[in-house]
Amino acid sequence: MSIDDIRSADEEPTRSEIGDEPPNDAVEDAPEVTASRRTDVASPVDGISDIRATLDLLERQIVEYRKMLAEQEEAVSFDAVREDEAAPPLVELDEEQLGNVAESIADQAAALFAGRAPAEDRPEDETKVVAAVADVVVEEVVEVVNEPVPAAVEMDVAAVVEIEEVPVEDDGLEVPDADLPELFAELEAQLEKGLHNTASVAVYADGEVLLEYLSAQSGSGVTPTPQPLFRAFSSGKPMAAAAVWRLLDAGVLEIDAPVATYWPEFAQRGKGKVTLRHVLTHTAGLPRDFGRGDVDWGDWGRMSDILASMDLEYEPGEVIHYHSITFGLLVAEIAARASGNPFVDLFEREVRSPLGLADTSFVIGEEDREARRRVQPLITPMGYYGRDMPKKMDWLLDNQILSPGASCVTTASDLVRLYSAVCSGGSTIDGEVWLSEEAAANVFATHASAYNIEDMSKNRVGQGVWMSDEQPNRFAAPIGSMTFGHGGMATSIAWGDPEYGVCVAIITDTMQMEELNGKRLNRISAAVRLDLGLPVGSVAEF
């Protein structure tokens, strides 16, 4: 039976995607990076520092050009979807600026090792040093040069670094062993429609990872190692909540204890009645972050003080109103206060390390250049309401802003590892006990059930995860299913079905408007269910 054979005539719900509110609108774009040519070198030590600094500037320029290239690719990729809208004009590259940076590196190396003598006058060994530095420049930009971009941009980049384009041999990705014809057909169909440039799908079933798959314009197959990293948006909220699950299981936290038990300042302005259960179920009455600016975002203590001083919008426990940004901040601060450890350290110890989430971070340090290069650029198609969202997320990444409700960078494989531990009664994929069976079952137990005040959809909420009886839903789950999960704004969904021991994560680099995003995620989830013989809810039609 194919996915189209079981389509339902049910109407598409209008409720917002769980986790589908954008991060703070007041987040400003990252400032442009400029570079000036340096002509003086004080000492060998200073010269080495200058070279390193200039290389860093060049790397930042490359990041900016990657964004430009992504926008050009976007214009090409989505012509078939939005033919009625004109593509944006080509972005002109600042050849002079990038050329100055590259030339500056060579000049500094020459000054350091040859007293600024002309190349023809330098000893052979010193000339080799300069050549080695130039090779570094080539290595930094060769990936950009080889990306499939419009010819005008490609020629400009090649001219700047004065190298010829090196053809890249694409051997293709490994063909997966898993027999999931419905899933592969659906991903291929969505790829042809231009609904994503790259999408990663992971499936856990029968006690093991069944599939790690990459659907991409450049070629599809088994996800390569190291894996590309994706912005998870709110799909990362359960990652943050997982630290609380562990502390609850250990007795460090109590779910019905007032938040002020662990965070005394939080009791201000009538919030003494707010409990941890209220926070986990989005019923704490603090759904908005009130447009905090970039200065606040960069100061965790400042954000904590703001939360502690906020007024309640609703009586705690009375209304389900999705806490888009405040959920992650509240969960992280409560966990840190109760454990006595900064949240990032606590997450590493209690979640990332024991579950083997090697590719999951809420903050990527500047020194981890390899991880930063693996982060997939976000693509926003023409007509998408938040065309500046890629810049906002880059701002979070570049400034190392910790926002556990929005800043998670991860892979579909890591998301599946988290859900599989819950669906397996608390055991990791490697068979280690991570949660007790009772604690694992409590994650997807119904802790709140009501209509969401934003769109009046009926919700069941667990400990930071959601269940849905709306049809069709993004889990493709039928009414009454125990399937639980969480979505990320315009990009992703991850879910687990504890009745059948199946977990799925779908994460893409391409943001889509809510209705279209909901349909594509629903259909991919439905395809997995069909392939594995699970009950299927309504299937959306494009």
In this predicted structure, the answer to whether residue 436 has a pLDDT above a threshold of 80 is yes
H or E stretch covering 519: helix 514-532
Q: Which of 146, 57, 131 is nearest to 99 (CA)?
A: 57
**pLDDT reported for residue 353:** 98
User: 396 near 435, Cβ under 8 Å?
Assistant: no
Pick the range with the lowest mean pLDDT from 87-101, 121-135, 201-215, 382-396.
121-135
pLDDT single digits (tens) 5-19: 554 434 333 334 334
Give mean pLDDT, residues 414-442. 97
**pLDDT reported for residue 507:** 98
User: 170 near 189, Cβ under 8 Å?
Assistant: no
Confidence of residue 88 (pLDDT cuts 50, 70, 90): very low
Higher-confidence position of 20 and 319: 319
Name the residue with tokens 């909220």: 237
Q: What is the DSSP string of 187-226?
A: HHHHHHTTS-SEEEEEEEETTEEEEEEEEETT--EEPPSS
Pick the range with the lowest mean pLDDT from 65-69, 136-140, 428-432.
136-140
Q: How far apart are CA 382 and CA 510, in angstroms?
A: 11
Give mean pLDDT, residues 149-154. 34
Residues 6 or more apart whose CB falls under 8 angstroms from that of 535 comprise: 477, 478, 481, 529
Give mean pLDDT, residues 102-128. 43
In this predicted structure, the answer to whether residue 21 has a pLDDT above a threshold of 60 is no
Asked, as a colleague might, if the bond just before 123 is cis with ω within 30 of 0, I would say no
Higher-confidence position of 3 and 415: 415
**pLDDT reported for residue 280:** 98
User: 405 near 327, Cβ under 8 Å?
Assistant: yes
In this predicted structure, the answer to whether residue 116 has a pLDDT above a threshold of 60 is no
pTM comes to 0.71
**pLDDT reported for residue 452:** 74
Instruction: Return the percentage of the chain with pLDDT > 70, whole number.
Output: 67
Higher-confidence position of 337 and 298: 337
Mean of pLDDT over the chain: 79
Confidence of residue 72 (pLDDT cuts 50, 70, 90): low
The 3 state secondary structure assigned to 401-420 is CCCCCCCCEECHHHHHHHHH
**pLDDT reported for residue 450:** 76
Pick the range with the lowest mean pLDDT from 121-125, 272-276, 301-305.
121-125
428 torsion bin: left (phi>0), alpha (psi -120 to 50), beta (else): beta
Give mean pLDDT, residues 196-212. 96
In this predicted structure, the answer to whether residue 87 has a pLDDT above a threshold of 70 is no
User: 343 near 336, Cβ under 8 Å?
Assistant: yes
H or E stretch covering 451: strand 448-451
Give mean pLDDT, residues 407-432. 97
Name the residue with tokens 């917002």: 16
**pLDDT reported for residue 92:** 45
In this predicted structure, the answer to whether residue 77 has a pLDDT above a threshold of 50 is no
Pick the range with the lowest mean pLDDT from 151-160, 176-185, 299-308.
151-160
pLDDT single digits (tens) 482-535: 999 999 999 999 999 999 999 999 999 999 999 999 999 999 999 999 999 999
Pairing verdict, β 492-497 and 484-488? antiparallel
